[in-house]
Each structure stands twice: as C-alpha cells, then as structure tokens.
Amino acid sequence: MGQKTPRIYSVELNGAKDMKQTDKGDGKDKYRGLQDNCLELGKNQRKEHLTKEIDLDDHKLSNKELETKYHTNIVTGLSSTQAAELLARDGPNALSPPKETPEIIKFLKQMVGGFSILLWAGAILCWIAYGIQYSNDKSSSLDNVYLGTVLALVVILTGIFAYYQEAKSTNIMASFSKMIPQQALVIRDSEKKIIPAEQLVVGDIVEIKGGDQIPADIRLLFAQGCKVDNSSLTGESEPQSRSCEFTHDDPLETKNIGFYSTTCLEGTATGMVINTGDRTIIGQIASLASGVGNEKTPIAIEIQHFVHIVAGVAISIGVLFFIIAVSMKYRVLDSIIFLIGIIVANVPEGLLATVTVTLSLTAKRMAKKNCLVKNLEAVETLGSTSIICSDKTGTLTQNRMTVAHLWFDNQIFMADTSEDQLKQTFDQSSGTWASLSKIIALCNRAEFRPGQERVPIMKRVVVGDASETALLKFSEVVLGDVMEIRKRNHKVAEIPFNSTNKFQLSIHKTDDPIDKRFLMVMKGAPEKVLEKCSTIMVNGQEQPLNNSTAEAFYTAYMELGGLGERVLGFCHLYLPADEFPETYSFDVDAMNFPMSDFCFVGLLSMIDPPRSTVPDAITKCRSAGIKVIMVTGDHPITAKAIAKSVGIISANSETVEDIAKRLNIAVEQVNKQDAKAAVVTGTELKDMSEDQLDEVLTSYPEIVFARTSPQQKLIIVEGCQRQDAVVAVTGDGVNDSPALKKADIGIAMGIAGSDAAKNAADMVLLDDNFASIVTGVEEGRLIFDNLKKTIAYTLTKNIAELCPFLIYIIVGVPLPLGTITILFIDLGTDIVPSIALAYEKAESDIMNRKPRHKKKDRLVNEPLVVYSYLHIGIMQSLGAFLVYFTVYAQEGFRPSTLINLRVEWEKDSVNNLEDSYGQEWTRYQRKYLEWTGYTAFFIGIMVQQIADLIIRKTRRNSIFQQGLFRNKVIWVGIASQIIIALILSYGLGSITALNFTMLRPQYWFVAVPHAILIWVYDEMRKLFIRLYPGSWWDKNMYY
C-alpha cells in the first residue's frame, strides 16, 4: 500500500508474459498462478514509465513498411498457410475469459472461514473426548459423538448456505464473449472470404462497413466517410471520423487506427490487422482489469474484525477455564468437555448466516430500485463510500446530443434538456424564431424510422448522426410533424455536410402558395456560416451585418462554446423569383446558385446534457459527506461545463485558471488556496508524481479529471484509496473497467454499459440512473447500522450461554444449559429476530452525516461488546438463572443443596440422591430434571431476548420515538421465537435426544421482570446519551 515508488499501470504490447502465466496448470495451481501473476504485474508496473503506456507505432508507418513488418500484401492479403501458421503462433483472436476461482475453492473457503475453524476444533475435541472415554469404558455414552457431529453439521450447513447465497448473487453477468464480432470479411490468397473473426491473424487485410464491429485492432489503409464510435474505449460520445492519414502520435488519438470491438457507424474502410485477441487495446485493458486484485470489501474487513474479537474472547475464556478446571482437580477429559461448551457458547453460530441473509435482503431491495448487486458484500460498501469517481459520458450525461441553447435577436435562450422534454418554453413569438425554426427543420437529413408515432419523441429511433438527430427531435417537439413540414417545403437540391465545407445546405420550394421564391437554408460551423452572410435578422427584420452585430455574434459564440457546447450557425436566403423561376434546375456540383449575401438568423448549441436526476443526486452525496470526482476521457471544456451544470463544481467555486482569468493575472500568481475546484487533464496527470496527485486530491474539494486514459483512471482511484477513502467508481465504457475493478465498489451502467464494465463492476445500475447510487448509499448505511444492531443482539445472549458453564465449573451446580440447547438458541429462536432487525428504519437522517471512517468507525466497537457482554448479557444471565433456580427449588432442590452437588449428581451409580426434602432421586430422574433446567434456562434467555430485540431497534432514540410497531417484521421475529420455544418444549419435549422437556406454563413468566428491567435500563442509557452528548456516558455506552 504505502510504497514510495510511483506505481504505474502500464501494459506491454507484446504482453505474452501474462499469457504464459495463465497457462500454468489448473485447479489450485491456477489459483496460485493468479496471485503470482498479480505480484509479477506489480513489479513491472513500478518499473515502466507511464508515457510508454501503449507501445504502438504502426500508425506512423507507411503502407510499404507495414507490408514488410507483417509480411503481407495489401492487395492479395496473406496466404492461407501463412495465416494458419500465425494463428497457431498467436492463438485465436478472442479475449481470454476472466480467470475464476474454482467453485470447490469457493466452497472450501466457506467451510473454513469465520467461526468455522473454531467449531471444527470443537467437533474434533468432542470426538477426541469420546475416544478417551471409549478407551476407558467401552459402554460410555455417545453424547459427545452426537455433539461433535452436530457441530460439524452446523459448520457444513451454514457453509453450504453461505456458498449458495454467494453463488446466487454472483455470476449474473455474461462474459466478454458478447463483444466478439462473429464474422469478418478478409482478403486471403487474393480472394475475399468471410471467416469467423476468431481466426483473424496479424497481417490480414479486412474490409469493414457501417454497422460492423471492428474485428481486431486495425491500421486503416483506405477509408471512405468512415466514422467509428469509440465511446466505450475513450469516453467520447461523438462519432470519430477515420481516415488513413497519420494525425497524432498517440495511437488512441490518431485517425488511422480502428480498435477492436468498437463499432463502425458509417462509411467503409479497409485495414490491416495489427493486433489480435488479448494483445488488442481492449484486450490489454481487459487484462489490466483482471490483473487488478480484488480488495477485501469494507464489510468483509469488519466481519473479520468481529470474528477475531469473538474468537479471541472464546479462546481466552476457554483456555482460562481449562486451566482453572484442571487446577480444581477436574479430570482432563471433563476439562476438555468444558472447553467445548465454552467455545459453543461463545460462538454465535447463526450470525454469519444471518449477516448473509441480511445482506441479500438488502441486495433484493436494491435490485427493486434498479441497483443490481453482483457481490453481496458490496451492498454495504456503498454506504461507507467517501469518494465517488464518476465517468461523465453515459453516467452523468444522457449520452445523446441535445439542443441546449439558442441565440437569436441578440439574446441567448435556454432550451429544456431533460430526458423527456415535452415542450420548449423559451419565447417563440419573434419573427426570427419563425425563420430559424424553419431552417432547423428543413436543413436536416435525419429522419425518424417509420412506425413510431406512438413512441415519445425523445425515445424514437432516428436515422442520422448525433447532431442532426438532436435537431430533428428538437424541431419535432417545437414545431410538430417535421416530416409533414418537409413534404410541404419540397427539397429541390442539397449539399450534405462534409469536413472541408463545414456547412450543409439545401434548397426548398416554400409552402407559401403566393411566394414563389426558393428558400435556401444553410447550417454549419458558425464562423463559416457568418462569412457567407451580409445581413442578420433581428426581431424578424433583416439588418445589415456591421461590426457591432458581428461582435455580438462572437460574444455569444464564445459564451456557448465556453459551456462546452457544440455551436452551429444558421442562415437562409430567398432566391429572387425572376432569376430562379419555379422550373430552375439546381446543380450542386456546378453550384449554379449564389453562395453569399445570406441572412444570418441565429446560433444553436448542443451538448450531451446531464441526466436530470444527477444534480440532485450530487447535492445529496455532498450533504452525505461524499466527494464526487469526475473522471472522463472527454475534453476539459466539456467536462468542466458538465461538472458545473451537475454541481460537481459548485456554482460559486473557481479553478485556478478561473481566478487567473478574473483577476487578469498569470496562473502561477494565483494563490492556490483560493481555488476550490480543479480541472486536471491527462497530460498534466502524466507529469505528476504520486505526492503531487495526493496533494491535488486533498487540497481541492471539487475535482474534474479530463482526457484521462484507462491507466490514469486507475492511478486516480489508487490515489483516492491512499487517502483512506472508500472509493466508488461509476462508468460504462471498456476504458472504465480497470478502475471499476480497482475501486472498492465498481458501479456500471446497465443500459449504456459495455459488458466489460458490467463484468468488472460490483454493482450495476439497471436504469443508468446516477440517483440510484444515492439510494444505494442510503441502503448501505442503513444496513451497516442494522448489522450493528443484529450483532449486538446476537452477542448479548453469548454471556447468558457462557455463564452457566462457568458457574457449573466453579460452584458445582448441575449444568444449567446444555450444549445442544445453546445451538437451538443460536440457530433456532434467534435467527428470525436477528434478520428482522435488518428491516429497521433509520433512526435519524443517515444521509446528513459523514461517511464512516474505515479505520475508526468499526462495525463492532468496544462499547458494543462491553454493553452487550457486561451489561445486558449479565442481566440476562441473572434472569435465566432465576428461572433455573426456581425450577430446581420447586422440584425439591433448594439453591443451597445444589452447590457442589455436581459430582454426586452426575454419578451414574448414585440412584438415591437426596434432595432438600429427603426424597431420593434416581440418575435418570435427575437427568430429566436437568433437562427441565435446560429448558427453563432456555426459556429464560428466550423471554429476555425478546426484550433485547426490542431495545436493539434503536441505538440512540427511545423505542417510542422509533415506534414500537413500525417494523412489523420484528413482531414476526418475536412470534417465531415464542413458537419455536413452544414447539421445542411441548411438541418435541418427548424426544429425549433434544434435551427438552415440557415446562410448566408459569416458568415462562419468571424472567419477565428481568426482561422489563432490560428494557427500562436501555431506555435510561439512551436517555442519558441524548441528554449528555459527548459525556463519558455517551462515549462508553453508545455503540
């Protein structure tokens, strides 16, 4: 954790090392191999430098050089034999599936985890004790064998249960396999062939067209209008055009590389395969994700801590009393049996199963709220989260372009960008708007796919690119049926958008029957559009374009651009009817129409807008003390704009750059402490040392990381974890998957998310709604609080189960509570109530407090153990002993007679043991009375556990503030306790092996005063905590 050398994740391109290591053996070896692999990776990571993160230079090579490098021919392709050789060498072009822990190991882990070791020890001691007994006396009773078997069964059954729960909640997701394109069109032996993409090898020449998934990493040799969607790789939501020119040193930025598993949206291209399978960029990221070790979840750490405490208490008391027993001249065999009893009494056998059930109940509840939890323990992690590193595209934003602002009549108007906009509310009365809306509707090639009349506009499928789609939907909302408008204004000619012109133009007949002029409409890059204009429309009137109006235009343009929005300019021109009669034939190649003196109408800007629920969710995270950091592959300006609009950078905070700009001074002169926010780009991050990153993370409350690579996302997550933070990462792209894996909890988007992201994540938001995270945080915090209650409830009776043994050893009374009976409490009456506590509502607004500190706010802390063991536990023991003594006294053995009676009592040969009244008892009659004593003690504990259950509903508030009946499940729990006890005593009381007898009804009420006392005492405790916050009482009694 705390090494000083920078830890950098980098991947070697020809990373055959990883491959070799995974091939080693299977089963246990595989498991070990995985660890070795991680270690190996760690070492490499430290050595390599980040700048070499992707070592690829094929984009710089010329076609000739490529041909030599890969021994291929661009025209004829590889020969089949060559391809077969390469395939044999490199393996199939597929990602190796994530390594999985073998099921048997998962199962065995359940068998030895937690308290299991202790119980196994107990079981083995039982068998050893029987062995000793048997060697002394062949006819010795099988009690110890039964007990050992029961203990072993308890371990196995709870293990199977936990395994089943675990297995049910994991493996929900399919693996990477879905991402693999099925077929590829390849040139081999000068022939075009369709082969399964898995058989592609480096050097193959492949052809792709719009709609195809790119079958491997390819270097483009020829491209026509080719656009790809790289959003899953880089986080950019805009389609990227691809060509065969080398445009950037960074292979991720250059235009002549197409990446495996990204989609070709339109156009066609031919490319040479340069990487296949795990060696592709995606493959490297995927292996990066699987190389990242899974950290223990916070709740797992807490449970381990708790197990250590309980096991420590059990073992130390056990050993202590073993020594005491031996020195009191008990036989070693008896002392061993005492030791078993103490262990069984101390270990809450049912608790871990209860915790699993509780977690899975919460997981179910969260699934209903669209948070699918893959790893049960992750349920709580979200509650402990102190930093959320969120991806932008698709997570914070809707991942679709939407019209955000308009500028006309020298005014900026805001458009509604919510997910389900029904109408636009800005002022639409101006004549300028009439013209502008017409241009927007007409100068657009996008169309709705037919047959969607009933679908809400925003959800309709559109054929066309992102911007045009946005404009189409916008005008459909504002104007109504756009298709109809286009029909009425028949299009006679058009020039589609291309990157050289940077404008789009079309010529229409108008729907005005009197006006026979053609209308020419144009949209494009604002400065290009403005060049072609000589007038500007203000309030529906054309005015000459002068310097001041141009100034106004530039101001608006800069302002909208500064918001990170893509700005388009719109202009039109009515062609004079005399020059262009109705029959005029327009020729777009000859351009037989004017291209100047247009009338500028307005600007319109688009952005991938934030989801409407996000700002509110981020405010809630803030008030819950959670820091939200944006980490995106997108441009800093867009990132910052979105960060501002969702509140990641709050309205009144500034970055160093903002301050510099405001004060008009150099960035270096700004006092860094004045800045609350920071925007850090990937390039800056590259040059930062670990300490510098730590400084950034600690000194700015509001941070945006832009232009980051997948590796850098990992570094950021690690940086946050160095601050002892519990880090949640949200993301949807393949590029997020390593960070998702590294995070304490990875949250993937269910709809927009790639399979890689879902695979690496611990949680999937089925509705892609960031607000669901807030729900998750709330549930996580609640479950943490409620687990405290469950554990406190369960630990309490441990003392009441332990004391009988201690009194039995020291005072020598007949055993008050049998080992089997203890198991019936731990695994019988106490199970439903402890689960019921999971349904308890929060005591106060848990979303207004800070996240718990990973190392300070423990699940099981000292006050909890002390209060449960030494306060309520002792009271409970006294109550149970009262029932025990009552039963014995009323049957003839007064308490004074019982003392030191143990030896005579347990002698099989004594069949005339005298009680306090002179009556004589046979051994079996005494045994039966002893079982009645067990039952009485059991009922005593059960009755007081009801009170314990009620007091555990709250930790600070009075039960009456919380409401006694609000949590109905508690009452189900109480009913289950009573019913199980009734069945055990009256139903199964005749089965002697269970050591229960029928108990007189009145004994059920003997412990009731003690139960009431427990309640009153706890109410007093809570009252003092509320009255004197911060006092020593509060510190020692609040758990």
Partner 1 sequence: MGQSSMVLFGLILLFYLVFYGFLAALFTFTMWVMLQTLNDEVPKYRDQISSPGLTVFPKPVTALEYSFSVSEPESYKGYIEDLKKFLTPYASEAQKNLKVCANGVLSEQKGPVYEACQFPLNLLEACSGENDPDFGYSQGHPCILVKMNRIIGLKPQGQPRIECTGNSKGENTTTLAAYPPEGNIDLKYFPYYGKKLHASYLQPLVAVQLNYTASSTPKEVTVECKIVGSKNLKNYDDRDKFLGRVAFKITMRA
Chain residues that interact with partner 1, rule: CB under 8 A: 870-871, 874-875, 878, 881-882, 885-886, 889-892, 894-895, 909, 911-912, 914-925, 928-929, 932, 992, 1000, 1006, 1009-1010, 1013, 1032, 1036
**In sequence order, what are the beta bridge partners of 509?**
518
Residue whose token pair is 């809400």: 456
Taken in order 373, 378, 379, 385, is the CA torsion positive or negative? negative
Least Cβ distance, residue 925 to partner 1 (angstroms): 5
Distance between CA atoms of 723 and 164, rounded to whole angstroms?
Answer: 36
Residue 99 vs 923, nearer CB to partner 1: 923
Q: Pick the closer one to partner 1 by CB: 714 or 929.
A: 929
Residue number, 513 or 918, with CB nearest to partner 1? 918
391 has catalytic annotation: yes
DSSP track, 807-844:
HHHHH-PPPSS-HHHHHHIIIIITHHHHHHGGGPPPSS
- The burial of 124, by beta-carbon neighbours within 10 Å (0-12 exposed, 13-18 middle, 19 or more buried), is given as middle
Between CA 278 and CA 290 the distance in angstroms is: 12
Listed in sequence order, the residues at least 6 apart from 468 whose beta carbon sits closer than 8 Å to its beta carbon are 444, 445, 446, 462
Per-residue CA distances from 615 to 611, 649, 668, 704 (Å) = 8, 11, 32, 15
Q: Positive or negative CA dihedral for 459, 460, 465, 467?
A: negative
Written as one string, the DSSP assignment of 344-411 is: HHHS-TTHHHHHHHHHHHHHHHHHHTTEEESSTTHHHHHHH--EEEE-STTTTB-SS-EEEEEEETTE
59 or 1010: whose CB is closer to partner 1?
1010
Query: Is the separation of the CB atoms in 984 and 994 below 8 Å?
Result: yes
Residues 6+ apart with CB under 8 A from 436: 406, 408, 570, 601, 602, 604
Residue 1023: CB minimum distance to partner 1, A: 16
- Residue of 217, 391, 826, 1018 with catalytic role: 391
- Given the structure tokens 């300006």, which residue do they identify? 637
Judged by phi (left if over 0) then psi (alpha if -120 to 50, else beta), residue 267 lies in: left
> Nearer to partner 1 by C-beta: 640 or 1022?
1022
Give min distance, CB of 1036 to partner 1, in A.
7
8 Å CB contact between 21 and 33: yes
**Is residue 659 within 8 Å of residue 674, measured between CB atoms?**
yes
Q: Based on CB atoms, which residue is closest to partner 1, 784 or 1003?
A: 1003
Report the SS3 class of residue 13: coil
Residue of 276, 282, 264, 273 whose CA lies nearest to 208: 264
553: left (phi over 0), alpha (psi -120 to 50) or beta: alpha
Element (H, E) at 290: helix 281-291
- For the chain, what is the largest distance between any 2 Cα atoms, rounded to a whole number of angstroms? 135
Helix (H) or strand (E) run with residue 134 in it: helix 116-136
Crossing angle between the packed helical segments 1008-1027 and 873-891, to the nearest 10 degrees: 160
Helix (H, G, I), strand (E, B) or coil at 769: coil
- List residues with catalytic annotation: 391
